[in-house]
Amino acid sequence: PDGIFLSNGPGDPAAAIHDIPAVGSLLKSEKPIFGICMGHQILGLALGSTTFKLKFGHRGLNQPSGLPNRQVEITSQNHGFAIDPNSLDGTVEITHLNLNDSTVAGLRHRSLPFFSVQYHPEASPGPHDADYLFAKFIQIMEANR
C-alpha cells in the first residue's frame, strides 16, 4: 500500500492488545500512517506512549488548537481516553492540543511519515475544518513512493 489509515473505534485503547503490536510492526515499514481517534491512540501506544481515562470524555463538537500557530479547528469528537504527553519520547511531537483541557489532540513523528489526530476530520455533515489532513496524507504518500 501507499499508506496506512488507522480508523476510529470505541473503548480503551490499551485494551487493544492485538492492535498495538500490529501497528508497531507496521511502523517498521516506514509507510505513511495517518491515525484518527482510536487510531491516534493506537499509534501513540505503538510509538511507546501511554494513555489515560479522561475525567470528562470529549463528546460532540470540540476545538483542537494546532501548534505552533494556535489555529483553532471546530471538530467532531467522541472519546474517553487521551495520550499522556509526559510519556512521549523525543521522536514524537505534539501538533494539536484540546482548547478546553490541553489534552493531546494531535501527534507527528519528527523523522518518519506518521501523524494522527484525536478527532474525526472526516465528519460530515458537520465541520470541515480538518479536511486538509486528508490532502496532507495524500501528499505524504506521494512523496514516499
- The ranges assigned to domains in the chain are 4-143
Q: What is the 3-state secondary structure (H, E, C) of 31-65?
A: CCEEEECHHHHHHHHHCCCCEEEEEEEEEEEECEE
Query: Right CATH number for 4-143 from 3.40.50.1370, 3.40.50.880, 3.40.50.9100, 1.10.10.10?
Result: 3.40.50.880
pLDDT band of 127, cuts 50, 70, 90? low
Helix (H) or strand (E) holding 116: strand 114-117
Residue of 88, 81, 89 whose CA lies nearest to 15? 81
Q: Is the pLDDT of residue 126 over 80?
A: no
What average pLDDT does range 47-60 have in this prediction? 96
| DSSP bridge partners of 117 | 36, 106
Q: What is the pLDDT of residue 56?
A: 94
51-57 contacts, C-beta under 8 A, 24 or more apart: 51/12, 51/13, 51/14, 51/81, 51/82, 51/83, 51/84, 52/81, 52/82, 52/84, 53/12, 53/80, 53/81, 54/79, 54/80, 54/81, 54/82, 54/101, 54/103, 56/101
Please tell me the pTM assigned to this model. Answer: 0.90
Q: Which residues are catalytic?
A: 37, 120, 122
What average pLDDT does range 56-69 have in this prediction? 91
Report helix, strand or coil for 74: coil
Residue pLDDT, tens place only, 77-103: 999 999 999 999 999 999 999 999 999
Residue pLDDT, tens place only, 6-42: 999 999 999 999 999 999 999 999 999 999 999 999 9
pLDDT band of 115, cuts 50, 70, 90? very high
Q: What is the pLDDT of residue 129?
A: 78
Q: Is the pLDDT of residue 125 over 60?
A: no
Q: What is the pLDDT of residue 124?
A: 61
Least confident interval from 64-73, 78-87, 134-143: 64-73
Average pLDDT, the chain: 93
